Structure 1
Amino acid sequence: MATQLYSIEVPDSPIVSGEGKPRRSILSPDKLVYTYTSHRGDSTISTLYENFLEGVQRSGYRPIVDGVAQAYEWMTYSRVQQRVTNFGAGLVHLGLKANDIFGIISINRPEWTMSELAGYMYTFISCPLYESLGHAAIEFIVNQTEMETIIASDDKVPLLLEMKSTLPTLKNIIVMGTLDQELTEEAKGLGINITTWTDIETNGRDNPAPANPPTPDDIATICYTSGTTGTPKGAILTHKNFVAGVSSFHMMAKHQKFFIPSVEDTHVSYLPLAHVFERLCQAVMISGATRIGYYQGDTLKLLDDVAILQPTVFVSVPRLFNRIYDKVLAGVKAKGGLAAYLFDRAYATKKANLRRGILTHAIWDRLVFGAIRARLGGKVKHIVSGSAPISPDVIDFLRICFSADVYEGYGQTEQAAGLSMSYRGDLAPGQVGPPQLCVEVKLRDIPAMNYSSQDKPLPRGEIMLRGHSVFKGYYKSPKQTEDTLDSDGWASTGDVGQWDEYGRLVVIDRVKNIFKLAQGEYIAPEKIESVLAKHYLVAQVFVYGHSLQSTLVGIVVPDAETLTGWAVENGHGDKTFEELCNEPSVKMALLKELSTFGRESDLKGYEILKNIYVISEQFSIENDLLTPTFKLKRHTAKERYGAELERMYAEINSSY
């Protein structure tokens, strides 16, 4: 339990009607940081290029031979620096000039990181593309940025060639991997210069070009947010935006409130590099000269990669942590007997110890939790969760089972992922810590939702921030920029926050995802979904309500493994997973289970689902129901399952 303040109001800040006073971290109340001092103490780090030189990175990846992942191979930091220098010079000879924009489309791999580092060295601007955005979005981004050069993994080349007629500015494709002769001929026929990454690197090695380092205010990247509806928006992020976040972590580490990984640490890179969360993570890792190992490109095989890599730092999203939580608890329940008794006793003991700040236990860690720790390689010391809210129960679970420091971060693309982070040693779940040391944060009233910065005892409102990690605006979109950034530099997040009694931020709602039922009750569907997703039979759930209806309904994707186990125990063992999802008695049993579970989890009566539709296909990026950061596309889901939603309401109303 906290015994001191984590943030304080900015002294002498003006009182603005409808807003609370800005708050800053207690670690830096007088100024917002945006640089840090090198470990030698002889220079100040202010750009991502200088950050790279500070680490002079080494990276690892698993080569794939005939579809089989091989052992990890490593490059020293100095070797990576040589390759980055050569590749950057190769881009210069290809015709790129300072502030030119180049695209990257690929899964995470060493060439992705080295391409961007080369961009930093020569003041080029990277702009990630990702196929899951859809062809229309890729077309929009390439044409809005007038992109001439795209660095692509070999599997993405056919897509780019297929789209060439809609991408008039595209001149160069640089292929990570092998170059297919047939595709080479096709590219030439389309007027595209196509070459390999290593050929560009070799040309740069043979024809060096002097570095052209950026200033802090130069643009590092344009990162397009997928959003849940509409055209993507390109957030303009500078070197200062990112280094401000890295500097905040360095300052926190000096106060023992965070960690800066060292050469002894290993990070697994699997969250998409197309998004700022993983890129900020890599910048932090690079600053500490940490090993970076890349997954083989298949999230279903991620835990295989982790078992080999044995990371000490594991950064992920609640979706994966929830699956680990569900699988472990379902496994304990299935074993029963002595194993379940020992787990429950060990878990209760360690949970009680959390209140005293103790993460380890000499007996239970070895006897009960060793096998669980092995799921993440057995060496994890630091776990970071971001991208979406994580349940307090799951955070406690991670601390108990992995004996690791667990941090919850909060941020958005528009702040280079740097808004707030919980502190080391603060084991109170459900909060995302005070503001990062590079920003100040305030809450703005939302009268329509009855949230006020003057609420007692805890102020509430839309989260607003200002500072060094806040973006410059949206690329070629002044109206959208104006809607997010005001003239004083305050950016709106669209999230609803609350200051707790110790000055830590708690994210409680989403401004746009709140809706009202017919009886006037406001519903936050994401909160209900996060509760129901913890049930051992549930993999995913979409909660829906209509303003003309007084009840909620849901689309439920069961967990295939636990549902089939449940089916055997309940007389349905002869059915496949798909058949079980279509079985009316299974639907009724699952609805009853979720109703009971919801009430036990303190959901209010009007937050309990009154009807569900069970499906076997998971929400995914591929079927356009999840954004690339694994957030549910609510509007798409509503359209996809519109007929089922209407039918569920008809069934409810006909029973009254």
Structure 2
Amino acid sequence: MSYSQLKTQYSIEVADAPDIPGEGKPRRNALCPDKLIIHPPNATTLYENFLHGVNKAGNRNFLGHREIRDGVAGPYVWQSYIEVQERVANFGSGLSKLGFKPKEILGIFLISTPEYIMAQLACHQYNFISVPLYDTLGIDSIEYIINQTEMEYCIVTTDKGRILLNMKDKLPTLQTIIVIDKYDQEFTDLANSLNIRVLNFAVIERDGSVHHINAENARPNDVAVICYTSGTTGTPKGVVLTHKNIMANVASIRWLSERGKCYSPSTDDVHISYLPSAHVYELVNTATMIYGGVAIGFYQGNTLKLLDDIAELKPTIFISVPRLLNRVYDKVMAGVKAKGGVAQWMFTAAYNAKKNGLDKGNVDHWMWDRVVFAPIRARLGGRVKAILSGAAPISTEVMDFLRIAFSVDVYEGYGQTENAACLTMSLFGDTSSGHVGPPQVCVEVKLIDVPEMNYTSRDNPYPRGEICVRGHSVFREYYKLPENTAEALDKDGWCHTGDIGYWDDQGRLVIIDRVKNIFKLSQGEYIIPDKIESIYIKHELVHQIFVHGDSLQPSLVAIVVPDEGMLLKWAKQNNLGRKSFQELCGDSKVKGYLLQSLIKYGKINNLKGFEIVKNVHLTYKPFSMTNNLLTPTLKLKRYQAKIKFHNEIIEMYAEIA
């Protein structure tokens, strides 16, 4: 009997839950069916969470960064847990001396850095409320957040400070910016001319160390952070998360790890922080690492140099998002294909052997791990023992690849800002793919009918519906938006996610759709663009893709960012080798070839006729956070993409007509 045939039940219905028309019964993790876990031992707040890490790790490494000299990054320089504890207390005391009081708002406008974590920890200790400003939210959203929260203080780097100074006429409440790096007299003069006070992070620390002001520590139900959703459409909403909300996530990971069902962060582990600390995903990951006393090393700030940072740091836990993991998969597979011959045959044999092993719950192979997969493991530093993917769906093929190539436990989590990134997660020992696991042990989950999309809790073989979650990680409210809060949180405390899922025959959740992320073509066919993009993105010539359609058109079109390396290789083979990547993207011959390739590829991968794109526009500029086409977790912003490529979309439809 194979592993997958054992039919372990990962979640079960809540005992004595009533039958309610139009919805399924709530389900809980089968390992903890009788209660919902609130917090881990000895830590009810994020400050107590930090103290737990200090007590575990003491003088061991905590926060590390690479010093850049003459454009070259040196080795990691570390501060210990005890050193950071002193700096955090001093900074919090310094803020108090400036007049900061408990439950007041502190803005943080930084990429992931040691100072970011120290500022946030100071907020946790002194019961201030942090409000992250996303590095790439866009000017309009930054203005909206600062004004809605009536923010007076904001921590910045000099470049981010200039952005705020240039916006000052639209930011009436902003009074003080705290700069973590060096700034010149011109910067100071500009701030003075705008009646903005400029303070230095280190100076506030120093002042706080003299006649230290004691902290008024937060309680579990106090607000820890107002985390604005990056969103793929519309104005961001401020998700109010309490200390209890975030600690429930830490508790769930620890509770499962103690039972051998999840990775267990410890003082022997190293985590690389490159995802935005302003996003709830990295926020709760960091909290989990701190509880275990993990060393956290930060990237240089440039994702193009991330692999260099990884090689230097050699992390043991790698937390990522599907878009980056997809690129690892694509590059490895393209490299194997390019080698061909014996090397390709050996890789295929090794891959198939380990794929068969996954059915038995095995991620290791005594020979192939050494002979074939060791160079791939080295790409992540060679020490990774656990990989977690979250923030967006990841394909079955890529999940299998990660387990096979890296010979480690690979977990997929599912959550949202509104539930502190904590809803479900796959468990240790489950090497099957295509699901996001059972509920975390701090929440319960149910499905409610969406009749207009033909999803019901009575569907066979699996009940389907909108995913709703209730429990300790569910947010308190949207900041100053009572109507939006009422739409998302019903009277019984259920948070309506807007995602569609079903329970498989082992009680694991499978995400299949989005209530709002769906549209009709003119003949009435429903289109799920995420599904179509997830297929096309696997084509070797596709780096990024945005599939578009609407109810006034009979077919789909797409904006494609080709894979530069693969396109240049194809061009060389087809007498176009003298052209640059930019020139190739504007070449009609290239466009025609790629379109026909995608049409053929869609058919091979069982896309329906109306799901296959009928025209494409090629662009050499990648979708990124900088051009406001990706969220900080690298999800496509459809609304912004539609606006940016408005003219190209019109032209593509005109060509079809």
TM band (smaller chain): over 0.9
Equivalent-residue separation in structure 1 for 2:370 and 2:131 (angstroms): 46
**Which residue of 140, 146, 150 maps to 1:146?**
150
> Could you say which residue in structure 1 is the equivalent of 2:420?
416
> Could you say which residue in structure 1 is the equivalent of 2:258?
254
> Could you say which residue in structure 2 is the equivalent of 1:514?
518
> Could you say which residue in structure 2 is the equivalent of 1:52?
50
- The question of 1:371 aligning with 2:369 is answered no
> Could you say which residue in structure 2 is the equivalent of 1:41?
none
Q: Shift of the alpha carbon at 1:175?
A: 0.7
> Could you say which residue in structure 1 is the equivalent of 2:448?
444
- The question of 1:280 aligning with 2:278 is answered no
Equivalent-residue separation in structure 2 for 1:88 and 1:299 (angstroms): 31
- TM-score normalised to structure 1 length: 0.97
Equivalent-residue separation in structure 1 for 2:385 and 2:415 (angstroms): 23
Equivalent-residue separation in structure 1 for 2:181 and 2:553 (angstroms): 54
Equivalent-residue separation in structure 1 for 2:10 and 2:256 (angstroms): 12
Contact residue 403 and residue 409 of structure 2 kept, 8 A: yes
- The question of 1:399 aligning with 2:403 is answered yes
Equivalent-residue separation in structure 2 for 1:512 and 1:279 (angstroms): 27
**Which residue of 229, 233, 236 maps to 2:233?**
229
Contact residue 131 and residue 138 of structure 1 kept, 8 A: no
**Which residue of 476, 481, 484 maps to 2:485?**
481
Contact residue 362 and residue 431 of structure 2 kept, 8 A: no
| Mapping of residues 24-35 of structure 1, within 5 Å | 24-35=28-39
SS of equivalent to 1:177: coil
> Could you say which residue in structure 1 is the equivalent of 2:268?
264
Q: Shift of the alpha carbon at 1:629?
A: 2.1
Instruction: Give a deviation string over 1:94-123, Cα, whole Å, max 9, x none.
Output: 111000000001111001001000100010
Equivalent-residue separation in structure 2 for 1:327 and 1:457 (angstroms): 37
**Which residue of 70, 78, 81 maps to 1:77?**
81
Larger mean Cα displacement after TM superposition, 340-349 or 98-107: 340-349
RMSD: 1.3
Q: Shift of the alpha carbon at 1:630?
A: 1.4
**Which residue of 566, 582, 586 maps to 1:582?**
586
Q: Shift of the alpha carbon at 1:166?
A: 1.5
Instruction: Give a deviation string over 1:318-373, Cα, whole Å, max 9, x none.
Output: 00011111111111111111211111111111111111111112222122111111
Equivalent-residue separation in structure 2 for 1:61 and 1:577 (angstroms): 35
Contact residue 113 and residue 298 of structure 2 kept, 8 A: yes
> Could you say which residue in structure 1 is the equivalent of 2:434?
430
Equivalent-residue separation in structure 2 for 1:166 and 1:494 (angstroms): 34
Contact residue 377 and residue 406 of structure 2 kept, 8 A: yes
- TM-score normalised to structure 2 length: 0.97
| Mapping of residues 242-641 of structure 1, within 5 Å | 242-641=246-645
Equivalent-residue separation in structure 1 for 2:132 and 2:397 (angstroms): 35
Equivalent-residue separation in structure 1 for 2:306 and 2:552 (angstroms): 44
Equivalent-residue separation in structure 2 for 1:618 and 1:427 (angstroms): 33
SS of equivalent to 1:36: coil
Equivalent-residue separation in structure 2 for 1:177 and 1:547 (angstroms): 51
Q: Shift of the alpha carbon at 1:503?
A: 0.7
> Could you say which residue in structure 2 is the equivalent of 1:40?
none
Contact residue 391 and residue 633 of structure 2 kept, 8 A: yes
Equivalent-residue separation in structure 2 for 1:515 and 1:190 (angstroms): 47
Equivalent-residue separation in structure 2 for 1:200 and 1:422 (angstroms): 43
Larger mean Cα displacement after TM superposition, 628-637 or 554-563: 628-637
Contact residue 314 and residue 384 of structure 2 kept, 8 A: yes
- The total of aligned residue pairs comes to 647
Q: Which amino acid aligns with 2:383?
A: K
Equivalent-residue separation in structure 1 for 2:185 and 2:107 (angstroms): 23
Larger mean Cα displacement after TM superposition, 512-521 or 263-272: 512-521
SS of equivalent to 1:104: strand
Equivalent-residue separation in structure 2 for 1:598 and 1:208 (angstroms): 65
Equivalent-residue separation in structure 2 for 1:187 and 1:555 (angstroms): 42
Equivalent-residue separation in structure 2 for 1:369 and 1:187 (angstroms): 54
Q: Shift of the alpha carbon at 1:207?
A: 2.4
Instruction: Give a deviation string over 1:368-396, Cα, whole Å, max 9, x none.
Output: 11111111111111000011100000011
Q: Shift of the alpha carbon at 1:572?
A: 1.8
| Mapping of residues 43-192 of structure 1, within 5 Å | 44-56=42-54, 58-192=62-196
**Which residue of 214, 218, 239 maps to 2:222?**
218
Contact residue 67 and residue 75 of structure 2 kept, 8 A: yes
Q: Which amino acid aligns with 2:52?
A: E
Cα distance change, pair 642–192 in 1 and its aligned pair in 2 (3 A): closer
Contact residue 179 and residue 195 of structure 1 kept, 8 A: no
Contact residue 260 and residue 284 of structure 1 kept, 8 A: no
Q: Shift of the alpha carbon at 1:544?
A: 1.3
Q: Which amino acid aligns with 1:436?
A: Q
Contact residue 226 and residue 239 of structure 2 kept, 8 A: yes
Instruction: Give a deviation string over 1:547-567, Cα, whole Å, max 9, x none.
Output: 233322211110101111121
Q: Shift of the alpha carbon at 1:647?
A: 2.8
Instruction: Give a deviation string over 1:35-80, Cα, whole Å, max 9, x none.
Output: 121xxxxxx3211111100002611111222332111011111111
Equivalent-residue separation in structure 2 for 1:65 and 1:174 (angstroms): 24
Larger mean Cα displacement after TM superposition, 611-620 or 107-116: 611-620
Equivalent-residue separation in structure 2 for 1:353 and 1:396 (angstroms): 11
Q: Which amino acid aligns with 2:132?
A: P
Equivalent-residue separation in structure 2 for 1:538 and 1:36 (angstroms): 44
SS of equivalent to 2:642: helix
> Could you say which residue in structure 2 is the equivalent of 1:20?
24
